[in-house]
Amino acid sequence: MGAYVMRLPKPTPCLARSTAVRALLIATTAICLAVSTVWSQADEGAATRLMVEAQRLEQSRGGEAALLEYEALVKRFPQSPLAPKALAASALIQFDLGDLERAELTAKMLVDSYSNSGEGASGLVMQARILVERAASVTDLNDALTLLKRVPNLFGGNRYPLLEPRAEARVFAGQLLLQLGDLGAAATSFVEAIEDEPKGRFTLAAHLGLGRVLALRGDRVSAMEAFQLAINEGLINDDPASQRAVADARRRLSLLYRFWIRPAINQTVWTTSQTLTIGSEWKKPRGVAASASGEVLVNDTAVGAYRISPDQDGAASSVAVRNAGKPFIDGKGRRYLPTQSSVRQMDPSNSTIFATAGEKPKQLEKLQAGARGILGEWYLIDKAFPGVQVFSKDGNILAPLSEDLEVVDVAIDERGRVFVLSQKPSRVTIFDLDRQSVNVISGGWSKPGALDVDWLGNIYVLDTSSNSVAVIDESGTRVTSIPASLPGVGALRAAEDIAVDGSGQVFITDSKLQTVYRLN
C-alpha cells in the first residue's frame, strides 16, 4: 500500500496559544511525515489491541482515560481502518469534556483526512455541534444546519448503506429546524431519519422529534403515536441515553393526555393537589422553578433554596441564600438564583454580576427574576430598570426587551422564544429567537405576578390579586384555568409564583400558607 498523508488544518493564533492543542498538532504532524509506512497484518493487530484497550478504559474509567490510547492509535497507525473511528471517539470525548478547541481540531482532521470513510460524516456532525455550542445568533445555528445538510449529500445511502452519523445528522438537523421555527422542514428531516436510515440509536430520537412537530401542529393522534413509537424503541435499548429519551417521551405523552384527552372525556386537567415537603417546614416560599424532567427549585427567602428531585418529596440539596428572587432553570438543567446584585448558579456554584453600558455603567442591584436562552443569553428583570435587560452569554449588554415599566416575570420555551409578563399594561409579549416581538396578549388580569410556559406553547399566568391561574395558548385563547381553591387542599391566600414541568405538573408557592403545592 502506498503512503497515506493527512492534511492538517493551519493552526490559528488561538489554537497555538493552547498547550494541549499545540501538543496535538505536533503529534499529528509526525503522523503526516510517515510517508512510506508499509501496512501489515501485525500493524492491524496492534491497532486493534489499542482500540480494544481504549474502549475498555472508556467504559471502566471514563473518556478522559481512553484519550491517550485513541490518540496513540491514530499516531502510530494512520492507515488503519480503525484510525478514523479512534478520531471520532476522541472528538466526542473532547467535546463532552468541554475542550472545544481540541474537539474542533480533531473533527477537522476527520473531515480533511478521512473524507472517504464514514467517520468523515462524524467529523461534520461534530463541527456542527461545536458551532451550536458556541452559537451567539440565529446565523450560527443556520451555519451548523448547513454542515448537517452536507452529510446525506456527501455520504449517500448507496455507498454507505449503514452509516450512523448520517442518521445523527438528520435528527440533529430536525432539532435545529424545530428551534428555528421551520416545522415542515423539521418533520421531513425526522421522517428521513426514520424511513431512509436503518434502525439504530437515533431512531428513537427521530420519533421523539417528529412527535414534537406533530403536537405543535395540533395533529393529536399522530403525535401520540410518534411518542409511543419512541417509547417502544427505547424498550429495545437499555443504555442511559435511550432511557432518558423514553422518560422524555412519556412526559410529553402525559401533557398531551392532560390537555387533549382528559377534557374530551369531561375530566379536569388536574385532579389532585399535594404539598411538597423538604423534611422541615417552609417559612417564606416565594419563588419556584421546574425543569422539563420534573426537578423543582424553590426559593424560601427565610431559609434558602431547595432542589427537589422528580416524583419524590424531600430536598435533594439546599443552599443558604436569603432574600433571593425567583429561581429559574435553563434548557440544559442549570439552576440559577437572582440574588439582588448577581445571579448565582448552583452546581457548580458561581455568581455573575451584570451592569449597564455607557460611560458610567450601573450595576444591576435589584434583580428579581430572570431566564436564560438557548444561545446562552441572559434575560433579567431589575426593579430599577424598565423592561427586560438582555446580556450575551459573555455578559455583554444587548438591546433590552419590552418598554413596559412594570415587567414582573420572564420565561423561555424549549424553542427559545421569550415570554414577558407586564403588570402595567397587563399583558404577555412573545418574542422569537431573533428577539423580535411576534404577539402581544392582553389578558385583563388585575395583578399578574408570575408566568411560565410549557413545551406545547401553553402560557400560565398567575394573577396574585385573585390567586388564580389562567392558562392560554400563544394566540391568547383560553385553554383552562386553575381556581384559587385547589382540589383537596383549600383556597390559596398569597400565591406568589408558578412553574410547570414537561408533563404538565404545576407548582405554586403561597407565602401566607407557607406551602408549595403540586397539582397533578
Residues 375-400: tens digit of each pLDDT: 999 999 998 888 999 999 988 999 99
Q: For residues 398 and 295, what is the distance between their CA atoms, to the nearest angstrom?
A: 31
Supply the pLDDT for residue 39: 53
What's the pLDDT tens digit per position in 449-497? 999 999 999 999 999 999 999 999 999 999 999 999 998 888 999 999 9
Q: Are 217 and 190 in contact (CB under 8 A)?
A: no
Query: What is the residue type of 38?
Result: V
C-beta pairs of 256-259 under 8 Å, 24+ apart in sequence: 256/215, 256/220, 256/223, 256/224, 256/227, 256/456, 258/503, 258/504, 259/456, 259/458, 259/479, 259/480, 259/504
Query: How many residues appear in the chain?
Result: 520
Residue 462 has a pLDDT of: 97
> Can you tell me the distance from the alpha carbon of 177 to that of 184, in angstroms, rounded to the nearest whole number?
9
What pLDDT sits at residue 519? 94
Residue 487's contacts (CB-CB under 8 Å, 6 or more residues apart) are 268, 270, 271, 272, 273, 519
Asked if 298 and 305 touch (Cβ cutoff 8 Å), the reply is yes
Q: Check: CB of residue 53 under 8 Å from CB of residue 82.
A: no
C-alpha cell at 176: 435545529
Question: Which amino acid is located at 217 in the chain?
Answer: R
- Which residues neighbour 2 within 8 Å (Cβ) at sequence distance 6 or greater? none
The model's pTM is 0.87
Contact call for residues 224 and 253 (beta carbons, < 8 A): yes
- Calpha distance 474→456 (Å, rounded): 9
Strands in 459-463's sheet, in edge-to-edge order, are 448-453, 459-463, 468-472, 478-482
SS3 state at 469: strand
What's the grid cell of residue 497? 409564583
Give the integer Cα–Cα distance in Å for 499 and 447.
17
Q: Are 499 and 506 in contact, with CB atoms under 8 Å apart?
A: yes
266 phi/psi in degrees, rounded to 5 = 60, 40
Q: Residue 5: what pLDDT? A: 35
φ, ψ (nearest 5 deg) of residue 366: -130, 50
Buried b or exposed e, range 295-311, using 16+ CB within 10 angstroms: bbbbbbbebbbbbbebe
d(CA 520, CA 509): 15
Grid cell 455507498 in the structure block, residue: 159
The region that residue 490 occupies, defined by phi over 0 for left and psi between -120 and 50 for alpha, beta otherwise, is left
Q: What are the residues whose beta carbons fall under 8 Å from the beta carbon of 491, sequence distance 6 or more? A: 467, 484, 485
Q: How many CB atoms lie within 10 A of CB 124?
A: 23
CB 286 within 8 A of CB 301: yes
Q: What sign does the CA torsion over 121, 126, 132, 134 have?
A: negative
**Nearest-angstrom CA–CA distance, 286 and 299:** 6
Place of cell 473524507: 115
Closest CA to 283 of 512, 517, 518, 519: 512
pLDDT of residue 23: 53
Angle, CA 190 vertex, CA 187 and CA 196 arms, to 5°: 125
Distance CA 216, CA 5 (A): 49
What local confidence, expressed as pLDDT, does residue 9 receive? 41
CA distance 237 to 251: 19
What pLDDT shows up at residue 38? 52
- Residues with pLDDT less than 70, the chain: 1-41, 311-317
How many Å apart are CA 124 and CA 174, to the nearest integer? 16
Q: How far apart, in whole angstroms, are the C-alpha atoms of residue 365 and residue 353?
A: 9
Cis amide linkage into residue 425, ω under 30° from 0: yes
Q: Could you give the angle at the alpha carbon of 45 between the alpha carbons of 43 and 48, nearest 5°? A: 110
Is the Cβ–Cβ distance between 229 and 199 less than 8 Å?
A: no
Which SS3 state, helix, strand or coil, does residue 440 take? strand
Q: Give pLDDT, residue 40.
A: 65
Of 431, 421, 344, 434, residue with least CA distance to 387: 421
